């Protein structure tokens, strides 16, 4: 009969074997997914060495001209840099597709609608567009990145695009109406190599005129409570920019 120490040693051995097996399964899954995406682009001619692309992240408050900022960057790239740029915009329903990104005064650029909960569809669309024009894009743009979900899938998609040599320009809301991180936006800082690649845009407080970092949601003209849904698409009728002093959030839970 084995002693108590023998039983303990055997249990540790079994546990270690189980952990090793699980690690191998996870490792295999990661690599299969990764190889799938790489092979997606393998039909395109490319050099022996593909330099990793760069991420530029434009994030900030509502009414801070985020979309206007990326429209300016895209036009500069296209006009003066002769770069090929593909723009994606998230939709939750393709039937209501908008097909464009638009700034506050109506200036717009054509964009490809991408289902918000299927961000990886971007890979198929990029391949198809590139096959049609016979060359690769230089930059892939995503507007309103906070709506893409799950955030981890969008993060990995961005990493794959960078590894494949594309530059990525992403724009999104940093904080939701609760003043909390909104979707993937803040996480994308993890793919930047320098804070110079990050632009943080504020608006002006609708109450006092100071720099405003928070989107104040209004419900029938008064601040919406904390327990309202995170996503409620709207404009000036249901949101205004506010500074930290003027921002109100009824029902805000206390840190404990």
Q: Which residues are catalytic?
A: 144
Query: Among 54, 189, 207, 218, which residue sits at the site for Zn ion (rule: CB under 5 A)?
Result: 207
Q: Does 246 bind Zn ion (CB under 5 A)?
A: yes
CA 114 to chain centre: 12
Segment 176 to 205, residues that bind Zn ion, using CB under 5 A: 205
Q: Does 163 bind Zn ion (CB under 5 A)?
A: no
- Residue length, the chain? 256
Query: Checking phi first, is residue 75 left (phi over 0); if not, alpha (psi -120 to 50) or beta?
Result: alpha
Q: Does 206 bind Zn ion (CB under 5 A)?
A: no
Is residue 56 within 8 A of residue 169, CB to CB? The reply is yes
Find the shortest distance in angstroms from Cβ 174 to Zn ion. 18
Nearer to Zn ion, 54 or 207 (CB): 207
Nearer to Zn ion, 55 or 241 (CB): 241
Strand partners, 169: 56, 141
Nearer to Zn ion, 65 or 210 (CB): 210
Query: Among 20, 208, 219, 222, which residue sits at the site for Zn ion (rule: CB under 5 A)?
Result: 208
- As a whole number of angstroms, the distance between CA 100 and CA 84 comes to 17
Is residue 148 within 8 A of residue 168, CB to CB? The reply is no
Binding stretches for Zn ion (CB under 5 A): 205, 207-208, 210, 243, 246
């Amino acid at each position: 009969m084995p002693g108590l120490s023998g039983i303990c040693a055997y249990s540790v051995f079994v546990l270690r074997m189980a952990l090793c097996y699980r690690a191998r399964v996870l490792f295999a899954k990661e690599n299969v997914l990764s190889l799938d995406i790489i092979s997606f682009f393998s039909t395109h001619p490319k050099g022996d060495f593909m330099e990793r692309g760069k991420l530029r992240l434009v994030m900030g408050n509502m009414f801070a001209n985020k979309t206007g900022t990326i429209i300016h960057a895209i036009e500069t790239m296209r006009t003066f840099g002769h770069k090929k740029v593909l723009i994606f915009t998230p939709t939750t329903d393709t039937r209501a597709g908008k097909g464009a990104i638009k700034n506050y005064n109506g200036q717009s650029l054509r964009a490809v609608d991408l289902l918000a909960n299927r961000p990886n569809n971007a890979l198929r669309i990029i391949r198809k567009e590139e096959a049609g024009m016979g060359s690769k894009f230089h930059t892939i743009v995503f507007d309103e990145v906070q709506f893409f979900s799950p955030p981890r899938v969008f993060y990995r998609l961005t990493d794959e695009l960078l590894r494949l040599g594309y530059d990525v320009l992403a724009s999104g809301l940093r904080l939701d109406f609760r003043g909390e991180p909104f979707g993937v936006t803040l996480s994308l800082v993890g793919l930047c190599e320098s804070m110079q690649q990050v632009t943080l845009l504020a608006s002006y407080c609708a109450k006092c005129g100071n720099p405003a970092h928070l989107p104040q949601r209004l419900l029938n003209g008064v601040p919406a409570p904390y327990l309202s849904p995170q996503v409620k698409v709207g404009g000036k009728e249901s949101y205004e920019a506010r500074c930290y002093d003027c921002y109100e959030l009824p029902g805000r839970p206390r840190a404990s």
